[in-house]
Structure formats: C-alpha cells, structure tokens
Amino acid sequence: MRMTSEEIGNTASEKRNLLLSLAVGVANLFLIAFAVDAFMSFGEEIYRATFGGNQLLGLRNAIAIGVFYAAFPLLLLTAVTPPLPKRILLPPILFAIWAGIGSAPFGLWIEDAQTLAFVVVLLQCAIAVISFMIITNQFSTWFLNSTALPRYASPVLRGVVGFLLLIILFPPLLAGYSAFAFATSIQTSSGHFMRFGWEGIDAVERVYKKGDQEIRLIGMMHLGEGSAYQTLFDSFPDEAIVLTEGVSDNTGRLARDLSYQRVARVLGLDPQPAIKGGNKVKVELPSSAESDTPQSQSGVSSGSGPTIRRGDVDASVFSEETVDFLNTVTEIYGSGSMQEAFERITKYQETYGDDAIQAVFKDILDKRNDHLLGEIDKAFTDYDLVIVPWGALHMPEIEKEMLERGFVEVEENRFPLSRYGTIIEGLRTTLRGTGT
C-alpha cells in the first residue's frame, strides 16, 4: 500500500525529531562532562594547594582530555543542527578547545603556573554555571529539551550552510590560535628570554652586574638564520669568557650526535653554529677529559677575541631513562620523512608517560644548570665579564640564581634570530619539493 504525502511528511518529521533528540542528548552529556571537569579541577586545585598532594590529578586530567576531544565533534554537530542553541553550547565548546591548547594569552599576564591554572579553572566554573542558568531560565529544566527547541524552515539547507562556514573559518582560526598558543608557551617557559615579535623570533640578552662583575644571559634557539647568529656572536667583547652549551659524550652513551639539520632544512633555517665569535677567538686548550671534543665546541682556536669554554656536562651524568630519551629524540630528528617522524613520535608517546617525561626534563635541566652555575663561579675567578648563550629554557633558573647572588639586571637587548617570512618560504619550498 502506498503512503500518502501526509504520512510521508509525518515519517520524515519523526526521523528529524529522533535525530534532534539524539543531538540534544549528546549536547547534554557534553555540558555535564564540562561541568564535572570544571568543579573536579576546582576541587583538585584546592586539595593540592591545601595538602600538597596530586592524588586527584590523574582523574582530573583524564576528564579534561575527554572534554577537549569531545568539543570538536560537538562543534560540528552544533554547526549542522540549527535548533541546537549556539549561545549555550559555543562558550563551553570554544573554552574547552582554548584551554586545552594553551589558554593563550593568559600566560603572558600571569607568570605563576599554579595561579594561571586556578584562574582558568574559575573561568570554566563560571561558564558552566552560566550555561545551566540560561538553560533553566529558558527551558525551566536543568537540561536541553528537544521538544522546546525552535524549528526552522529548510533545516537541511541551514545545516549545509553551517557546515560550510565551519570548514572554511574554523581550520585557519584553529591553526592561528595553536601557533599563537605555542609561541606564548615557549615565551613564558623561557622567562621571556625568547620573544615572538611581529616580524620574527628574537633571542633576549639580559645584562646583570654586581660590583665589577658582569654576566650576560642570552636565551638561544637551536634553529635560526646563520647571519643572525654571526651578528650575535660578533657582539661578544674580547675581554669576555663565553660558556658554551653542548653535552659531551666521552663514554659513548649516546647513539649519535643530535642534529637539527633536517628540521632546519624544512623550515628554511640553519642549525645553531658553534660559537666562534667571527674570526676572533682566544685559545683555551681543553682539559684531558675533553680531548675528544671537537675544537669548534671546546673553544680551541686562534686569534684575538673572547675566550670560549664549554660550560656543559658529559652524558655520563644522566640516568639510563634520560639517555634512552635523548637517543629517541635523536632518531626523531634524524627521520628521513615527515611520515617516519610522526611514526616515531607516536611510538615515543606510547613509551614515555607524563611522569617519565617530567623526570627526564628535570634530569636534563637541573643537572646541567647546576653544572653551569659552578662553571660561572669558576669563570669569575679569572674574568669580570661572563657570557652565557644557552637554550632559553635554561635561563629562568640561571637568572634566579644570579639575582639571589646579588646581581642586578641593568640592561636588556634583543637579537633577531629568524624571520617568519624566512620560515614561510622554507615551508613553501619543502612542500613544493614533496609535491604537496
């Protein structure tokens, strides 16, 4: 028996109602998870501040990660389902994505990590409360109700338009924000010894003095433009001693040297060269323990100029876990293709948990910083001017120690290391070469 047009219309309406009910159910589940995440995070922050324990951190992170990943499909569902209330759903959805990627630019204004986390949590709690207040005010119930939502003419057309707007606007906005959040994270983690300006990335040099003694701390990046590095190195005065960065491997624990050459080539940049100060480097013979160190790293050269001395540790001081991690990172940087690199990164993520990574970075940063501080003390016995051009992430702790020892910051300078235009052109060249 053939169905009448009225029956066909009723069937289609029932299907739309069923789909809308499912969409509303998913939206309600997200709102509940978002609120649970907010108040769980609030409770965990209070507990940690009061008792100093992190027993709730694992559960908190698990919920937060779930909410973050759920935000993306719910954003798509909201875009293609016209009746879903945008003013209720978009704030928690966009907040989850914003906070999950980095909460930028809050990190530029709030330097203390615990304070920043607490402010973000309070904001999330406020959004959760306001969302449910709007729902109760509009629907007289705690949750969205499909029967109370408005019906629109041409819902399919509206859904298509919403989908098109989403795929056109969201990806570039997400990419732009992700880049901004990454830059903010690096800048704040380095104590602003690395700065992302309008035209490019700058290394920051801060000058500290105590009596006749002067130390210059320079936050370095291992990738940049060769000419920019040379300009920086040529600025080192002849009477200075420069303590260089670079882990030696006298016992052969590392599988091979860490090379940034392939990454630099992709970005159109150069790996940071050995510090030679142009053509002016004073001779300083290495100790017997460093006899196998390349001259460019140990500072053995000839001519007038600053003294170059290694200020770093040997790989023999690292734990087995740290050595394994460094060898893994070396494999990633040595990947022959992007696919191979991603496969190795995936394997690395499966191998190393958060606790293991924190322990490794503590090993890498703390041991090297402690050794460097000892080298700074030694250098001041013979020199009044010490220059420390090390990775920017080392600088906050070294700066803190210098200030505690009575040094006072008197000057700050910025040295451009790489321009965004150079990086963009490098990426274009790489993509053209791969046929992408």
What are the mean pLDDT values of the chain's consecutive 10-residue runs (436 residues total)? Answer: 48 65 94 96 89 83 94 96 93 96 88 87 97 92 87 84 95 93 91 91 96 96 90 91 92 80 84 67 37 38 74 91 84 71 70 72 90 96 96 95 96 93 87 65
Instruction: Assess whether 360 and 402 both reside in one domain.
Output: yes
Give the end of a domain, one of 143, 171, 189. 189
The verdict on 72 and 133 lying in the same domain is: yes
Whether omega for the bond prior to residue 85 falls within 30 degrees of 0, making it cis, is no
Bridge-based pairing of strands 223-224 and 385-391 is unpaired
What per-residue confidence (pLDDT) applies to 279? 46
Residues 181 and 199 in one domain: no
Q: What are the C-alpha distances in Å from 37 to residues 181, 231, 419?
A: 22, 49, 40
Sign of the CA dihedral running 330, 333, 334, 339: positive
Helix (H) or strand (E) holding 355: helix 354-380
- The alpha-helical segments, DSSP class H, found in 204-280 are 226-234, 261-267
**423, 268 in Cβ contact below 8 A?**
yes
At residue 7, the pLDDT reads: 43
Q: Which domain holds residue 246?
A: 194-434
207: three-class secondary structure by DSSP: strand
Predicted local confidence at residue 13, as pLDDT = 54
184/198 same-domain check: no
Last-in-domain residue among 189, 210, 239 = 189
Is the same domain home to 224 and 144?
Answer: no
Q: Are strands 200-210 and 213-220 parallel, antiparallel or unpaired?
A: antiparallel
DSSP 235: T
**Same domain for 165 and 17:** yes
C-alpha neighbours within 13 Å on the C-beta side of residue 190: 26
Domain boundary among 129, 157, 189: 189
- Do residues 145 and 251 share a domain? no
Sign of CA dihedral 330, 358, 111, 107: positive
Do the beta carbons of residue 203 and residue 218 sit within 8 Å?
Answer: yes
pLDDT the model gives residue 257:
74
Q: In terms of domains, do 126 and 258 share one?
A: no
Q: Which residues of 137-146 are buried (b: 16+ CB within 10 A; e: fewer)?
A: eebeeeebeb
Q: What is the DSSP letter of 287?
A: P
Read off the tokens for 328: 């893994």
Looking at the structure of the chain, the number of domains it has is 2
Do 206 and 113 share a domain, yes or no?
A: no
Q: What gap in Å lies between CA 194 and CA 17, rounded to an integer?
A: 54
Q: What is the pTM of this model?
A: 0.76
Verify that 259 and 382 share a domain, yes or no: yes
pLDDT at res. 99: 95
36 and 70, same domain (yes or no): yes
Residues 32 and 104 in one domain: yes
Question: By three-state DSSP, how is residue 154 classified?
Answer: coil
- Pairing between β-strand 194-196 and β-strand 200-210 as defined by DSSP bridges: antiparallel
Q: How many other CB atoms are found less than 10 A from the CB of residue 274?
A: 18
